[in-house]
Structure 1
Amino acid sequence: MANRLPLERELLRRYDVTGPRYTSYPTAAQFTEAFDGRRYRERVAAGNGDPMPRALSLYVHVPFCRTVCFYCACNKVITANYRRAERYLDRLIQELDLQAALFDDDRPVEQLHLGGGTPTYFTDADLERLIGAIRDRFPLADPPVREFSIEVDPRTVDRERVARLAELGFNRLSLGVQDFDSDVQKAINRIQGVKDTADVVAEARAQGFHSVNLDLMYGLPLQTPERLHRTLDAVQDIRPDRIALYNYAHMPQMFRIQRQIAEASLPSAENKLTLLIEAMQRLAEGGYQYIGMDHFALPGDELAQAANDGTLHRNFQGYATRPDLDLIGLGASSIGQIGDAYSQNRRDPEGHAEAVSAGELPIWRGVELSADDRLRRDVIQSVMCQGRVDFDTVEERHGVIFRQYFAEALEELTPLVDDGLLDIHARGLAVTERGQFFLRNVAMPFDAYLVEARNQRRFSRVI
């Protein structure tokens, strides 16, 4: 019998509120400029001094794109002037020098992720230069452990380039698709063929890539259930290891490029729910395991295995499989995490370049976690990744009485219990099968900053 997800339209309507995605806690809304390069260096030094220092993950932000996608809310630079990318790469290598000098040699890089923008905006020669600079400055873990991933625009990559990426050490690929329908593609200014995408995935498999992800969106202009149905047919024929099904959040007041999308062309709230329900059911029926939020994976994929064995983690790249790494953010707007502190680089490439050219870490802001932050982060991570919280574990780790410390949060969760989304028992709470799509709603009562952040309208809607 085909898999089905217990998605109920009335519940989706009722719990469609604004809220964080919890790629961190506290969220970026709590970052302040009081956290600077000096405090970052102190955090790194403290990590170096641990009896068992953490291994490292590197995130490199490449903001450049040749054309603009009207839905995009990423930090990006639209340009055909490749000299800007060359200058940016020079600054990235200078930043690598500054960062590498801080970390002891017994902290190997186990993960590398290139995001954007469009990382494959870089030529093969410049990608090789970047990877070479990383290899020269950081010890790399051996290939069985090492995970190198890159976000790819299939319009910039052919089979030959995929083979070159494999030669450079990349073993995971993420491709943007959003929708294959030609009318939807014209409305979002992203024309992309099914065959080109399928060829990239086929070559990645031929080259031995461990995992391939496709990004999709629901709620796009001119999108209908029939059009999305055809896209999902094509995606299931391609059969990627992972699929991310994102909600298009139309916020033109924050992202000017979205003003190119006529609001009248967007699906109504009711039609958007239809798109979501049908897409998620199709993926589940097609053999994909629902991981949480907007992520699906084939049962044999490492992400599904992590979800099943309780080791799933959530960070700034979304769901991940390794919770025990320190993350170094490189490039404009990148976010890192060193121990119990988050930091974010300056958002604009010019400001980033100015700082590193002066020999300074380009850190713009960040936050150091208090004891209360660490406690709430543990609880929210447990909700988002395992769908449950064990009170005894939390009490032992943080020295609190859970029901007393979180009395207000547990009271706020009463409607979710009444709606059958959550069970709260003597020594824990657990999200039910019916409630698995509402993880953010379960996590939000444990967020001490949420009322203030909501008043600043920083978050998109949950559905």
Structure 2
Amino acid sequence: MVYKSENNEQIVWDQKILEKYNYSGPRYTSYPTAVEFHEAFTIADFDMACTQYPERPLSLYVHIPFCHKLCYYCGCNKVVTRHSEKADEYLDILDYEIRQRASLMFGREVNQLHFGGGTPTFLNVAQISRLMALLRQEFHFAENAEISIEVDPREIEIDLLEHLREEGFNRLSIGVQDFNKEVQKLVNREQDEEFIFDLMTKAQELGFRSTNIDLIYGLPKQTVQSFSETLDQILKIRPSRLSIFNYAHMPQLFAAQRKIKDEDLPQASEKMAILQTTIKKLTLAGYQFIGMDHFALPDDELAIAQRNGVLHRNFQGYTTHGDNDLIGFGVSAISMVGDTYAQNQKDLKAYYAQVNAQRHALWKGLLLEKDDLIRREVIKQLICNFRLDKRAIERQFRVIFERYFAEDIGLLEPFLSDELVVDEGNLLRVTPKGRLLIRNICMCFDKYLRSRARQQQFSRVI
């Protein structure tokens, strides 16, 4: 089956090929992935990295871990509580961390800010204003900065949108997951469909630049029919972006998922059929397949960047701000600065204790070697733009591509034989049949995955 969107982007659905390659693998929000981070990475390493590229603009990420209610599917770093005053203590600690890190940034311009969680809208109006005032005091924001926030529609009043706009927010990401009432009940996330429509309408009236809707396929009791009905409702409001995440059932890692019964989950064949229906509906509705689980309207910045071959990817997902250093604040937050990755303490008590004692929250990280940098660029080009200019890699890193990647090209051979990738001499191009398996293709260039044991730490690709 071949699916085309209005701008002629194609996805070829080959059932046998998808089943053949449906094994575990990284999502490549970074390369090397976070499992390679280690505690030998020090705050001195991070401080040095902050001086490496002083001309780079900044992306800021603030992690708000609190949620009022536990969603059973969730694998995020979170703290479930009904006590809103806990956020005040958290903001006190964030204040210390933000001021310390801002002092290392030498006035660099911020053109992107994202609040993630958890549930960032756990914060009340005063708390949001306090945090934004601190960030604007410590950093210089570009006039047209992209400022976004994740929204739980169960935990927000429509009036809060007005306050968010006043504080400069111009993008929303709304967690819907599924409209089916039975599915919602089984994952402990019951919400009002009409309220979500009202929320979207209000956001458009207030001038938010774009709204992303998150959905999840593979949840308990989902069927092709039920998820298709959810998609039909979503398409009525036509968000600029859609994220259709694959539910990874890993109860051995995430305690909340133990509340989901294995027998309630859709079979692999049903789950794949849900994905196939989703792709068909969205591409016929005019959405461009960005990659893995993301879709965007053709006039969206992500879609335009991908068509122009300049799309990027980081811990926040696909982005047009690939030349930025990313600074993460809050418990478990990850930074990408210079040629390093750095992650904050993952446990809330440890995060509080370390910031109080040392004014920073660094837990572990990684200083990238030249080989890491080369492979990171290769994987980024493939996963973002579905093509790789081999000669550009040679010019950038002064290597001979076929010699440097001899072992990797051998691993790529099955994908070439199955026509998932085409070698055009100077260019490796992912075919429409290979786009859904881009993670697998990237894995051929991942030296850390030479061990099968490493591979099992990740979710299945479909």
- Same fold judged by TM-score > 0.5? yes
Residue equivalent to 2:257:
258
**Following the alignment from structure 2 to structure 1, what is the Cα–Cα distance between the partners of residues 412 and 181?**
43
**Following the alignment from structure 1 to structure 2, what is the Cα–Cα distance between the partners of residues 454 and 56?**
36
Indicate the SS of the match to 1:446.
Answer: coil
Change (3 A) 1:196 1:454: farther
**Following the alignment from structure 1 to structure 2, what is the Cα–Cα distance between the partners of residues 171 and 294?**
23
Residue equivalent to 2:112:
111
User: How many percent identity over aligned positions?
Assistant: 46
8 Å CA contact 1:157–1:200 kept in 2: the answer is: no
Residue equivalent to 2:34:
28
What pairs with 1:116-131 in structure 2 (closer than 5 Å)? 116-131=117-132
Indicate the SS of the match to 2:395.
Answer: helix
Residue equivalent to 1:431:
430
8 Å CA contact 1:98–1:359 kept in 2: the answer is: no
**Following the alignment from structure 1 to structure 2, what is the Cα–Cα distance between the partners of residues 284 and 454?**
36
Instruction: For residue 394 of structure 1, report the CA deviation from its aligned partner.
Output: 0.6
Residue 391 (structure 1) aligned with residue 390 (structure 2): yes
Instruction: For residue 114 of structure 1, report the CA deviation from its aligned partner.
Output: 0.2
Stretch deviating more after TM superposition (348-357 or 335-344): 348-357
Instruction: For residue 359 of structure 1, report the CA deviation from its aligned partner.
Output: 3.5
Residue 157 (structure 1) aligned with residue 156 (structure 2): yes
AA partner of residue 31 (structure 1): F
**Which of residues 94, 97, 100 in structure 2 aligns to 1:95?**
97
Residue equivalent to 1:55:
57
**Following the alignment from structure 1 to structure 2, what is the Cα–Cα distance between the partners of residues 320 and 14?**
30
**Which of residues 79, 82, 85 in structure 2 aligns to 1:83?**
85
Residue equivalent to 2:200:
201
**Following the alignment from structure 1 to structure 2, what is the Cα–Cα distance between the partners of residues 7 and 213?**
25
8 Å CA contact 2:4–2:11 kept in 1: the answer is: no
Indicate the SS of the match to 2:52.
Answer: helix
**Following the alignment from structure 1 to structure 2, what is the Cα–Cα distance between the partners of residues 92 and 456?**
35
- How many residues align? The count is 456
Residue 370 (structure 1) aligned with residue 393 (structure 2): no
8 Å CA contact 1:177–1:216 kept in 2: the answer is: yes
* TM-score after normalising by structure 1: 0.96
Indicate the SS of the match to 1:252.
Answer: coil
Residue 12 (structure 1) aligned with residue 18 (structure 2): yes
Q: Aligned-residue CA RMSD in angstroms? A: 1.3
**Following the alignment from structure 1 to structure 2, what is the Cα–Cα distance between the partners of residues 208 and 453?**
48
**Following the alignment from structure 1 to structure 2, what is the Cα–Cα distance between the partners of residues 359 and 440?**
39
What pairs with 1:438-453 in structure 2 (closer than 5 Å)? 438-452=437-451
Change (3 A) 1:453 1:73: farther
**Following the alignment from structure 1 to structure 2, what is the Cα–Cα distance between the partners of residues 358 and 98?**
13
**Following the alignment from structure 2 to structure 1, what is the Cα–Cα distance between the partners of residues 439 and 360?**
34
Instruction: For residue 321 of structure 1, report the CA deviation from its aligned partner.
Output: 0.7
What pairs with 1:188-267 in structure 2 (closer than 5 Å)? 188-267=187-266
**Following the alignment from structure 1 to structure 2, what is the Cα–Cα distance between the partners of residues 326 and 456?**
28
Could you list the runs of 5+ residues in structure 1 that have no partner in the other structure? none
Can you list the C-alpha shifts for 1:231-268, whole angstroms capped at 9, x where unaligned?
00110011110000000000000001100000000001
Residue equivalent to 2:303:
304
What pairs with 1:342-357 in structure 2 (closer than 5 Å)? 342-357=341-356
Divergent runs of 4+, >4 A: none
Indicate the SS of the match to 2:216.
Answer: strand
AA partner of residue 59 (structure 2): S
What pairs with 1:56-75 in structure 2 (closer than 5 Å)? 56-75=58-77
**Following the alignment from structure 2 to structure 1, what is the Cα–Cα distance between the partners of residues 36 and 211?**
33
Residue equivalent to 2:334:
335
AA partner of residue 50 (structure 2): V
**Following the alignment from structure 1 to structure 2, what is the Cα–Cα distance between the partners of residues 245 and 197?**
17
**Following the alignment from structure 1 to structure 2, what is the Cα–Cα distance between the partners of residues 31 and 455?**
13
Instruction: For residue 426 of structure 1, report the CA deviation from its aligned partner.
Output: 2.1
**Following the alignment from structure 1 to structure 2, what is the Cα–Cα distance between the partners of residues 197 and 443?**
36
Residue equivalent to 1:281:
280
Instruction: For residue 2 of structure 1, report the CA deviation from its aligned partner.
Output: 6.4
AA partner of residue 103 (structure 2): A
**Following the alignment from structure 1 to structure 2, what is the Cα–Cα distance between the partners of residues 384 and 268?**
27
Instruction: For residue 45 of structure 1, report the CA deviation from its aligned partner.
Output: 2.5
Residue equivalent to 2:47:
41
Residue equivalent to 1:415:
414
Indicate the SS of the match to 2:143.
Answer: coil
Indicate the SS of the match to 1:46.
Answer: coil
Indicate the SS of the match to 1:114.
Answer: strand
Instruction: For residue 456 of structure 1, report the CA deviation from its aligned partner.
Output: 6.7
Indicate the SS of the match to 2:53.
Answer: helix
8 Å CA contact 1:19–1:454 kept in 2: the answer is: no
AA partner of residue 260 (structure 2): I
Instruction: For residue 453 of structure 1, report the CA deviation from its aligned partner.
Output: 7.0
Indicate the SS of the match to 1:358.
Answer: helix
**Following the alignment from structure 2 to structure 1, what is the Cα–Cα distance between the partners of residues 397 and 359?**
36
8 Å CA contact 1:71–1:257 kept in 2: the answer is: yes
Instruction: For residue 199 of structure 1, report the CA deviation from its aligned partner.
Output: 1.1
Instruction: For residue 457 of structure 1, report the CA deviation from its aligned partner.
Output: 2.8
**Following the alignment from structure 2 to structure 1, what is the Cα–Cα distance between the partners of residues 455 and 274?**
29
Instruction: For residue 299 of structure 1, report the CA deviation from its aligned partner.
Output: 0.8
